[in-house]
């Protein structure tokens, strides 16, 4: 768990590694969700691995349907701040429960999709039984 190499890099490099567009990174900075980086003498933003970690986390959260304020709260948990232990416990549990629900829904969807795929597997029959498979209890829309 040695402290990671603290090389600094530009916004373009950060963008590539995090999979987040440059404009979006600046947008996150402006909205306070990603801390202002140091600047070079020329005025260029200079990032560290901590920025990268945080940015990847933000990107993932967005892909998983969390709002910016959700993410702000989750990051506050990671950033400590001056919250009380009890607050943290409650907030954390609420988030964990919401996430569990998301997982359940995704698991249902994945199961149904794989069922559909397996029915369409192998033979290229003129009409695959997709409609039927979607009417039943295990419907994608259920």
Partner DNA sequence: AGTTGACTCTGTAGTTACTACGGGGTTTAT
Partner DNA sequence: ATAAACCCCGTAGTAACTACAGAGTCAACT
For residue 126, give the H/E element and its range: none
The binder of 96, among DNA, its own copies, none, by C-beta within 5 to 8 A per type, is: its own copies
Query: What does the block give as tokens for 65?
Result: 């349907």
Asked whether the beta carbons of 116 and 134 are under 8 A apart, the reply is yes
> Smallest distance, Å, CB 40 to DNA?
5
27 binds, among its own copies, DNA, none (CB under 5 to 8 A by kind): DNA
Specify whether the CB–CB gap between 107 and 97 falls below 8 A.
no
Question: Looking at 54, 68, 72, 73, which residue binds its own copies (CB under 8 A)?
Answer: 54
Which partner, its own copies, DNA, none, binds residue 38 by CB below 5 to 8 Å per kind?
A: none
Q: 47: burial class by Cβ within 10 Å (0-12, 13-18, 19+)?
A: buried
* Residue window 77-116: x/- pattern of binding to its own copies, with contact defined by CB under 8 A: xx-x---xxx-xx--xx-xx--xx-xx-xxx-xx--xx-x
Q: CB neighbours of 26 closer than 8 A, spacing ≥ 6?
A: 11
Q: Does the footprint of its own copies cover residue 35 (CB under 8 A)?
A: no
Helix 85-119 × helix 68-78 angle, to 10°: 120
Binding region for its own copies (CB under 8 A): 1, 53-54, 56-57, 60, 62-66, 74, 77-78, 80, 84-86, 88-89, 92-93, 95-96, 99-100, 102-103, 105-107, 109-110, 113-114, 116-117, 120-121, 124-125, 128, 130-131, 134-137, 139-142
């Amino acid at each position: 768990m040695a402290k990671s190499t603290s090389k600094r890099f530009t916004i373009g490099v950060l963008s590539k590694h995090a999979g987040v567009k440059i404009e979006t990174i600046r947008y996150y900075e402006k909205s306070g969700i990603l801390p202002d980086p140091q600047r070079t003498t020329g005025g260029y933003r200079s990032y560290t691995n901590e920025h990268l970690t945080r940015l990847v986390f933000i990107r993932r959260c967005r892909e998983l349907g969390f709002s910016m304020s959700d993410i702000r709260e989750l990051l506050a948990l990671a950033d400590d701040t001056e919250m009380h232990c009890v607050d943290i416990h409650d907030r954390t549990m609420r988030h964990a429960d919401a996430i569990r629900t998301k997982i359940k829904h995704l698991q249902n969807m994945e199961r149904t999709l794989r069922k559909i795929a397996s029915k369409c597997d192998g033979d290229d029959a003129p009409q695959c039984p997709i409609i039927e498979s979607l009417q039943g209890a295990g419907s994608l829309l259920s």
